[in-house]
A and B are shown apart, each in its own frame.
Chain A
Amino acid sequence: MNLLTYGLITGIIFGFIIQKARIVRYDKQIGALRLLDMTIIKFMFSAIFAGMIGIYLFYDLGFIGLEVKPTLLGVNIIGGLLFGIGWGLLGYCPATQLGALGEGRLDAFWGILGMLFGASIFARVYPALQETLYTWADFGKLTLPQFLGLNHWIVILLLIIFGSLLLGWFEEKGI
C-alpha cells in the first residue's frame, strides 16, 4: 500500500472514532471552552496518555524517531492565542470540522473555506514574520523531560497522575 492509501485509511478510522465520541460537534467544543462539558478534554487526555506510553515505548526500543516541533515562545504563544480566538468563534478545529461536515453540520463548510483563505494570507505574511516573531525566544527542539532534566517515564507518570486527578475532579463536578 502506498502512503496516500495509508493516510486515507488512518483518516477514516480517526474520523469514525471522533464522530462516535461526539467530539466533532460545536456544542462539545464550545461546551469545553465554556467549562460546561469536558468530553473533548477527557478524549484528549486519554488519547495522550495512551499515545505517550506507546510513543516512548517504541522510541526506547529504537523502532521510531520523534518529530518534536521547535519551541519558539513568540510564535507558540501568539499563534496559540490567535488559534484559540478563532477556535472560540468557529467552534471547530482544523481536523474536527471535517468530521463535523461528515455528520451533516453544514456550518463547518464556512470554517473550511475560512481556513483555506487564512492559510493563503499566512503564506503571504510569512516572510515578514520570519524576520521578527520567529526569531524570539528560540529554544530549539525541546521536550518537557529535557527541559525539566527528568527521565521521560517519570514525566509520563506525573502527567498521568495529575491528569487523572483533574479528570476525576471533572467527573465529580459532572462536567
Chain B
Amino acid sequence: MKKNNGWNPYAAGALAGIVSVLSVLIVGKFLGASTSFVRSAGLIEKFFSPQRTVLIEYYIKYTPKIDWQFMFVIGILAGSFIAAIISGSFKLKTVPDMWKARFGPGVARRAIIAFVGGVIAIFGARLAGGCPSGHGLSGLMQLSLSGFIAVISFFVAGVVVARLLYRGGVKK
C-alpha cells in the first residue's frame, strides 16, 4: 500500500474484474455507463416536452427510464462517497491539482472546458458504441474486436489532447 492509503491498482483492478464477472453471472448485466446519459437526457427532455421526445428515434431505441445501469451509475457516486468518507479522503475541490498548476485556480475556465469535454466525450462514446466501461472493461473482457479498436482510439486522441494542453507546462 502506498503512502496515500490508496489500494494497489493491480489488486483493485482484479477485484473490479471479479465484480464485473459476478454481475454477468448473477444478473446477466455487463457493466457500462454511457447509455445512462442518453436515458437521463431523455428523461429530462420528456419532463419538459413529452410529445416531442417520444418522436426522437434514439429515445425510442433507448427508452428514457431508470434501469439497472442508471442505478449502477448512481451507485458509483454513493460508493465513492462512502469510501472517501471512511478513509478521510473526501475533499471539496473545484479545480484539480494538475489543472491548477498549469491553468491556474479559475473555476469558470475549468468549468467551461469540463463541460465542453463532457459534450464531446459522450457524443464520441455513443457514436463508438460505449465508453471505457462498456467498450474498455466489458468489451475487452469479451475480447470483442470493437472494444480493442475503440479503446485504442480513446487513448490515441486522449494522449494527443493532453499533450497539446500541457505542452511546455509544469511537469507535475
B interface residues, Cβ below 8 angstroms from A:
4, 6-7, 9-21, 23-31, 33-34, 36-38, 40-42, 44-45, 56-59, 66-84, 87, 89-99, 110-163, 165-166, 171-172
When the two chains form their complex, are residues B127 and A78 in contact, meaning their CB atoms are under 8 A apart?
Answer: yes
Chain A interface mostly: helix
Given known pairs A7-B69, A46-B13, the reply for A111 and B154 (CB within 8 Å) is no
When the two chains form their complex, are residues B144 and A20 in contact, meaning their CB atoms are under 8 A apart?
Answer: no
When the two chains form their complex, are residues B33 and A43 in contact, meaning their CB atoms are under 8 A apart?
Answer: no
Give Cα A55 to B83, complex, Å: 27
Give Cα A165 to B54, complex, Å: 50
Chain A neighbourhood of B9, CB < 8 A: 21-23, 39-40, 42-43, 46
Give Cα A48 to B139, complex, Å: 9
Given known pairs A64-B24, A115-B118, the reply for A89 and B113 (CB within 8 Å) is yes
Chain B neighbourhood of A113, CB < 8 A: 115, 118
Closest 9 CB pairs of A and B: A11-B75, A114-B118, A80-B153, A15-B79, A84-B157, A86-B121, A88-B161, A46-B13, A82-B124
Give Cα A104 to B82, complex, Å: 11
Total number of residue pairs linking A and B with CB closer than 8 Å: 515
Chain B neighbourhood of A49, CB < 8 A: 13-14, 17
Given known pairs A7-B75, A117-B119, the reply for A21 and B89 (CB within 8 Å) is no
Given known pairs A11-B72, A98-B73, A102-B80, the reply for A122 and B122 (CB within 8 Å) is yes
Closest A residue to B127 by CB, please name it. A79
Kindly identify which residue among A5, A75, A111 contacts B127, using a CB–CB cutoff of 8 Å: A75
Give Cα A162 to B24, complex, Å: 26
Chain A neighbourhood of B153, CB < 8 A: 76-77, 79-81, 83-84
Q: Tell me if A44 counts as interface (CB < 8 A to partner B).
A: yes
Give Cα A82 to B118, complex, Å: 11
When the two chains form their complex, are residues A8 and B99 in contact, meaning their CB atoms are under 8 A apart?
Answer: no
Given known pairs A10-B19, A55-B141, A83-B125, the reply for A27 and B98 (CB within 8 Å) is yes
Closest B residue to A114 by CB, please name it. B118
